A and B are shown apart, each in its own frame.
Chain A
Amino acid sequence: MTEQTTSSAYTASELIAIMAGRLLVDGQIVFAGVGIPLLAATLAQRNVAPKLTILFEGGVIGPFIRPGELPPSTNEQRCTRRANMVLPSTDVLLLLQRGYVDVGFMGGAQIDRYGNLNSSFIGPAEKPSIRLPGTGGGNDISSLTNMIVAMKHEKRRFVEKVDFITSPGWIDGRDSRARCGLPTGGMWRVVTDLAVMGFDAETREMEVLALHPGVSFAQVQDNTGFPLRRAREVGVTAPPRREELALIRELDPDRLYTA
Chain B
Amino acid sequence: MTSDALVRDYDTLRRDLAARDRGLREKVTTLEQAATLVRDGDHVAIGGCTLSRTPMAMIWQLIRAGRRNLTVSRSITSTEGDLLFASGLAHTIVSSWFSQGIVWGISKVMRHHVENGLAAFEEWSHMAIGMRYRAGAMGVPFVPVRSMIGSDVARIRGDQVKPIRCPFTGEEVMAVPALNPNVALIHVQRADPYGNAQLDGLQFMDIDIAMAADKVILTTERIVSNDQIRRAPDHTRIPFFTVEAVVEVPYGSVPHECYGQYEPIFAQLDRYAALIAKDPVAGARQYLDDYVHGPKDWSDYLAKVGIDTLLTASRRGRVIFND
In whole Å, how far is B192's beta carbon from the nearest beta carbon of chain A? 22
Decide: A93 and B126 in contact? CB cutoff 8 A: yes
Q: Give chain A residues whose Cβ lies under 8 Å from the Cβ of B78.
A: 73
Complex: chain A residue closest to B132, CB-CB: A90
Query: Which residues on the B side are within 8 Å of A181 (C-beta)?
Result: 149-150, 163, 172-174
Question: Does A1 sit at the interface, judged by CB under 8 A?
Answer: no
Determine whether the beta carbon of B147 is less than 8 Å from that of A140: yes
Contacts of A235 in B (CB 8 A): none
Contact residues, B71-121 vs A (CB, 8 A): 75-76, 78, 95-99, 101-103, 106-107, 110-111, 114-115, 121
A80 to chain B, nearest CB (A): 6
Which segment of B25-33, B47-55, B56-64, B215-223 sits at the interface? Answer: B47-55
A-chain residues with CB within 8 Å of residue B317 when the two chains form the complex: 77
CA distance in complex: A135, B126 (Å): 7
Binary B-proximity of A167-185 (CB < 8 A = 1, otherwise 0): 1100100000100111000
Asked if B51 and A73 sit within 8 Å, CB to CB, the answer is yes
A78 contact set on B, CB distance < 8 A: 263
B125 contacts chain A at the CB level, 8 A cutoff: yes
- Of chain A, the residue at the smallest CB distance from B115 is A131
What residues of A have a CB within 8 angstroms of the CB of B110 in the complex? 131, 133
Contacts of A164 in B (CB 8 A): 152
What CA separation (Å) do A128 and B163 show in the bound complex? 27
Are B151 and A143 touching (Cβ within 8 A)? yes
Q: Does B247 contact A (CB under 8 A)?
A: no
Chain B count of residues within 8 A CB distance of the other chain: 61
User: Are A88 and B204 interface neighbours, CB within 8 A?
Assistant: yes
Could you tell me the distance between the alpha carbons of A62 and B7 in the complex, rounded to whole angstroms?
37
Does A77 contact B260, Cβ atoms closer than 8 Å?
yes
Contact call B49/A80, Cβ cutoff below 8 A: no
A246 surroundings in chain B (CB, below 8 A): none
Closest to A118 in B: B152
Given contacts A72-B102, A75-B52, A137-B125, contact A89 B151 (CB under 8 A): no
Partner of B259, one of A77, A129, A182, A256: A77
Separation of A79 and B207 alpha carbons in the complex (Å): 20
In the complex, the answer to whether B150 meets A177 with C-beta atoms within 8 Å is: yes
Which residues, 28 to 87 on A, are CB-close (under 8 Å) to B? 34-35, 57-60, 72-73, 75-81, 86-87
Q: Which of A98-138 contact B (CB under 8 A)?
A: 120, 125, 128-138
The reply on A19 being an interface residue by CB < 8 A is no
CA distance A243 to B303 in the complex (A): 45
From known contacts A58-B52, A134-B121, A166-B153, infer whether A256 and B103 are also in contact, taking CB-CB under 8 Å.
yes
* B185 contacts the other chain (CB 8 A): no
Bound complex: CA of A90 vs CA of B103, how far in Å? 24
B205 near A76 (CB under 8 angstroms)?
Answer: no
Chain B residues closer than 8 Å to A97, beta-carbon distance? 127, 145-147
Contact with A along B145-183 (1 / 0, CB 8 A): 111111111001000000100000000111000000000
Alpha-carbon separation in the docked complex, A136 to B259 (Å): 21
A80 with B152: CB separation less than 8 A: no
CB contact list, A151-194 vs B, under 8 A: 164-168, 171, 177, 180-182
- A80 and B127 in contact, given A181-B149, A256-B103 (Cβ under 8 angstroms): no
B23 at the interface (CB under 8 A from A): no
CA distance A146 to B222 in the complex (A): 44
Identify which of A77, A132, A137 contacts B127 (C-beta below 8 A). Answer: A137
Collect the chain A residues with CB atoms within 8 Å of residue B134's CB.
Answer: 90
Q: How far is the CA of A89 from the CA of B129 in the complex (A)?
A: 10
Nearest CB in chain A to that of B237: its residue: A88
Task: Point out the residues of chain B lying under 8 angstroms from A168, CB to CB.
Answer: 149-151
Contact check: which of B52, B106, B152, B205 meets A90 at CB < 8 Å? B205
Q: Is the CB of B97 within 8 A of A135?
A: yes
Interface membership of A94, Cβ < 8 A: yes
- The answer on a CB contact under 8 Å between B51 and A88 is no
Bound-state CA distance A89–B205 (Å) is: 6
* B257 proximity list for chain A (CB < 8 A): 76-77
CB distance from B89 to the nearest CB of A (A): 19
A residues near B99, Cβ cutoff 8 Å: 133
**Distance between A134 CB and nearest chain B CB, rounded to angstroms:** 5
Q: Cβ of A221 < 8 Å from any Cβ of B?
A: no
| Known contacts A88-B204, A136-B97: A73-B76 contact under CB 8 Å | yes
CB atoms of B97 and A139 under 8 A apart:
no
* Contact (Cβ within 8 A) B125 A139: yes
User: When the two chains form their complex, are residues A77 and B320 in contact, meaning their CB atoms are under 8 A apart?
Assistant: yes
**Contact (Cβ within 8 A) B150 A88:** no
Bound CA span A171–B50, Å: 30
B193 within 8 A of A: no
- Quick check: is B284 within 8 A (CB to CB) of the other chain? no
B149–A182 contact, CB under 8 A?
Answer: yes
Cα distance A66–B205 when bound, in Å? 26
CB proximity of A95 to chain B, nearest CB, Å: 10
5 A-B pairs with CB atoms under 8 Å apart are A73-B76, A75-B49, A90-B205, A133-B97, A133-B107
User: B residues bordering A, Cβ < 8 Å?
Assistant: 49-52, 75-76, 78, 95-99, 101-103, 106-107, 110-111, 114-115, 121, 123-128, 130-131, 133-134, 145-153, 156, 163, 172-174, 201-208, 257, 259-260, 263-264, 317, 320
